[in-house]
Amino acid sequence: MARLNFGGVEENVVTREEFPLEKAREVLKDETIAIIGYGVQGPGQSLNLRDNGFNVIIGQRKNSKTWDKAIEDGWVPGETLFEIEEAAERATIIQYLLSDAGQMAMWPTIKEKLTPGKALYFSHGFGITYNDKTGIVPPEDIDVILVAPKGSGTSLRRLFVEGKGLNSSYAIHQDASGRAHERVVALGIGVGSGYLFETDFKREVYSDLTGERGILMGALAGVFEAQYNVLREHGHSPSEAFNETVEELTQSLMPLVAENGMDWMYANTSTTAQRGALDWRHKFREATKPVFDELYESVSSGKEAEIVISRNAEDDYRQKLDAELQEIRESELWQAGQQVRKLRPENS
C-alpha cells in the first residue's frame, strides 16, 4: 500500500502496479460475484469484472427493462442472469447496487442470503451510515465492504474500454473473514479503478452527498443558470450566453484543468482572463462558503437522508421528478445547448 502526503496529511492508496489484475484474480478465484441491480453502476461494474476474467452473475427482476438490458449486454438467463433471490443465494460476494430506496425495499430478502463468510459490497455508504433510517444492519459474521467509483457507471465502462481507469474510494465496515481488505481491493481493481484511496462508509456518503448537491451537480447547474440569465438580461443572444457559460467550460477549459490543474489552465489563458479570474475567485469562494457549510451540516445531521427517503416513498414521486427534469430540459438555457451541440464539428 502506497502512502501519499498532502502537506502533512497522509493517505493510503492502492495502485494497479502494487495490486495487479493477476493478483486480484487469484484472490477472487473461488468467489462468485452477484451484481444485484442493473441500473446506474451495475452494468459498468459487472461488464468490467466479466471482461477482466472474474466469475460474475446478475440478479435482476424478470420482465423488466433492466432484465432486457442485461440480456442485450450478453448475460444469459439461467447461466449468468437470475432472479435476485437466486443470484444472492449463489453468490459468495453480493454487490448491492440497487438505488438507496431499492436497497431498503429489498433488504429483508438479501439479509436472508447473507450466510457466514459472505461479503456484502456497496458503492455508496448511504444504507449503512443511515441505518437507523434505512434498517440495513448486516449480520456480524459477514464482511461489509465498499468500492465507490468517482463517477457514473457509464464513465467507468467508457474509460475501461479505452484502457484507462476511474479513481475509486474503498472502505471496510466489517471484517469477519479476515480477508476483507484483499477482497475489497481485488474488487476495486476488478471493476476498473485507476487507483483506490481509503475512506470509511460515513466519510464516503458525507463527501458524496455534499459533492452531488454541490459542485458536481447542484451548484454547477445553479451557477450556469445565474450567469446565463444575467447575460440574456443584458441583451446577449442565447447562443452567445450558452457558449460563454457552458460550452467553453466543458469543451475547452475543464479538460485543461483535468489534465494539468487550475494553475496551469490559468497560466495558459490571456492576461486579461488571468487577472479577472484570480481576483473574482475570492468573491465567489466567500459568497458560496456559507452555502457549502449549510449543505454539509444538512448532510452530516441526516436531514438530507430523511428528505431522500421521504420523497422516494411518495406515490407520485416519479411524476414530480419527471416534471422537475422537464422544466430543466425545456428551459431556454438547455434548449440553446441542444442547438449548440449540433454545431460541434463531430456532429457536422
Query: Which pLDDT does position 6 carry in this prediction?
Result: 72
Residue 348 has pLDDT above 70, yes or no: no
| Residue 140 shares a structural domain with residue 100 | yes
> Considering the chain, what is the average pLDDT of its residues?
94
Task: Note whether 252 and 308 are same-domain residues.
Answer: yes
Residue 50 has pLDDT above 80, yes or no: yes
- pLDDT tens digits for 233-255? 999 999 999 999 999 999 989 98
pLDDT at 307: 95
* Chain mean position to CA 288: 24
| Structural domain containing residue 48 | 2-199
Catalytic residue among 124, 181, 234, 236: 124
Query: Over 80: is that where the pLDDT of 9 sits?
Result: no
Contact 172, 121 (CB under 8 A): no
Q: What is the pLDDT of residue 12?
A: 84
Residue located via cell numbers 489563458? 269
Q: What is the DSSP letter of 194?
A: E
d(CA 252, CA 126): 35
Give the pLDDT of residue 2: 67
Q: Which range is least confidently modeled, 209-213, 264-268, 289-293?
A: 264-268
Q: How far apart are CA 5 and CA 170, in angstroms?
A: 18
- Length of the chain (residues): 348
Check whether residue 94 and residue 130 sit in a common domain.
Answer: yes
Would you state the pLDDT for residue 8?
A: 74
Q: Which residue has the cell 494497479?
A: 16
What is the mean pLDDT of the segment spanning 227-234?
98
pLDDT tens digits, 201-228: 999 999 999 999 999 999 999 999 999 9
What is the layout of strands, in order, in the sheet containing 56-59?
Answer: 2-6, 9-15, 193-198, 166-174, 143-149, 119-122, 93-96, 33-36, 56-59, 81-82
Number of domains the chain is built from: 2
Spacing of C-alpha 194 from chain mean position: 14
Residue 306 lies in a domain: yes
Instruction: Tell me if 204 is assigned to some domain.
Output: no
Can 173 be counted among the known catalytic residues?
no
Output the pTM of the full model: 0.90
User: Is 206 a domain residue?
Assistant: no
Q: Where are the beta strands (DSSP E) in 43-109?
A: 56-59, 81-82, 93-96
Please indicate, yes or no, whether residues 172 and 234 belong to a single structural domain of this protein: no
Beta bridge pairs of residue 148: 169
Per-residue model confidence (pLDDT) at position 345? 84
The tens digit of pLDDT for each residue in 319-338 reads 999 999 999 999 999 999 99
Residue 99 · residue 39 · CB < 8 Å: yes
Is residue 1 scored above 90 in pLDDT?
Answer: no
The answer to whether position 284 is within a domain reads yes
Do both 18 and 152 map to the same domain?
yes
